[in-house]
Amino acid sequence: MKAAAPLTCPIVRSAHLIGDEWVLLVLRSLFRGSQRFDDLQKQTGAATNILTNRLTRLIEAKVVAKTPYQERPLRYKYELTDVGKGLFPVVLELMRFGNEWLPREDCAPMVLLHTECGKLTKPGQTCSECGGPLVLGKVRLLEPDAEANPEGKQD
């Protein structure tokens, strides 16, 4: 039996929620605006049972909401909740990393358009407090109980 990593870490909890790579393809389609089962299936290439299973899991996790959009015959659409929308930056960073560090000759990099400025863009992370870039070496992941005392000093 494979031992599970502890869910006391928020990084692990997020990865656990995502679960597998099919979910990422489903999220990618949802982020592109697809809402119908047929469209999600076409775009992900997932078999019906795989797509149904992953959508069910995402609904249970409150990442996706399933609502009827047509009565006769009854048809449903799948929409991202606020929880689901919160996964957008995760997907963008996975995309950025894959484009940059795992290129494949037979696949062009995925492209992101910032419609606000009209340019093709790459996501970069900035500090919520000073707006400067968040770069490894200038950022420290602290133990949670360090929050009240980030410098490790007493006032």
Q: Which of residues 66-85 bind a copy of itself (CB under 8 A)?
A: 83, 85
Instruction: Extract the tokens encoding 124.
Output: 């970069």
44 neighbors 29 (Cβ within 8 angstroms):
yes
Q: Which of 60, 71, 105, 145 is close enough to bind a copy of itself by CB under 8 A? A: 145
| 23-31, 34-42, 66-74 -> range binding a copy of itself (CB under 8 A) | 23-31
* Contact positions with a copy of itself (CB under 8 A) in 40-59: 44-47, 50
Instruction: Give Cβ neighbours of residue 30 (< 8 Å, ≥ 6 apart).
Output: 40, 64, 78, 79, 80, 84
Compute the least distance from the CB of residue 66 to a copy of itself, in Å.
19
Q: Is 105 in the site for a copy of itself (CB under 8 A)?
A: no
Indicate the pairing of strand 75-80 with strand 119-120: unpaired
How many binding residues for a copy of itself (CB under 8 A)? 89
Distance CA 112, CA 150 (A): 36
Q: Is 111 in the site for a copy of itself (CB under 8 A)?
A: yes
